[in-house]
Amino acid sequence: MQNEPSHAIGMSASGPARRTVLIAAALLLSACGTSPHRGGRATAPAYSRLTPEQSNDIAIHAMGLVGTPYRYGGNTPEGGFDCSGLIGYVYRSLAGVAPPRTVAQLSDFGASVPAGDERTGDLVIFGSGRPTHAGIVVEGGRFVHAPSTGGTVRLDRFSSGYWSRQAIAFRRP
């Protein structure tokens, strides 16, 4: 009975044998990842896995949060939002996507979208070199964002005052 074979791989193994099975499984799973295409012909950007309906729902939900108080580090309607908290809350709620928590991380999240090709639900990232702020594109050259302490989530135009003078990049998660 001591030497009965196990019918489930790794289930009765202990110590080094179990570690070996776990490491092999981890290596096998990590091999499933992909790396970006380097060289060769340019391919069409794979912008998003979100449907146009999801993108519209994201924008509508974001507009529904206009008026929610700003709070640094905030990520709920009850507690308030900062800009990345607003984005995270909306995307998690409507698309099941968990964006990164900082603006710097958001600036690399998803695919880059050329200005003019942005659509409802895309992210807008402000700042050159070091990103400083982010929001959600709605429509008609407008975006929803949580701007600053003492303010509330609001709807602004890319072409208005302060925002028209900022470097802008668009991302499609």
- Helical segments of 31-111, H only: 52-64, 83-95, 103-106
Q: Could you tell me which residues are beta bridge partners of residue 136? A: 123, 144
Q: CA 86, CA 72: separation in Å to the nearest integer?
A: 11
Cβ atoms of 91 and 168 within 8 Å: the answer is no
**3-class secondary structure, 91:** helix
Give me the catalytic one of 7, 32, 37, 145.
145
- Which one of the listed residues 7, 32, 61, 83 is annotated catalytic? 83
Marked catalytic residue, from 7, 32, 61, 133: 133
Q: Does the annotation count 133 as an active-site position? A: yes
Q: Is the dihedral of CA 113, 115, 121, 126 positive or negative?
A: positive
Q: State which H helix or E strand residue 27 sits in.
A: helix 16-30
Alpha carbon distance 49, 33 (integer Å): 17
**Nearest one of 3, 10, 28, 37 to 111, comparing CA atoms:** 37
Task: Catalogue the active-site residues.
Answer: 83, 133, 145
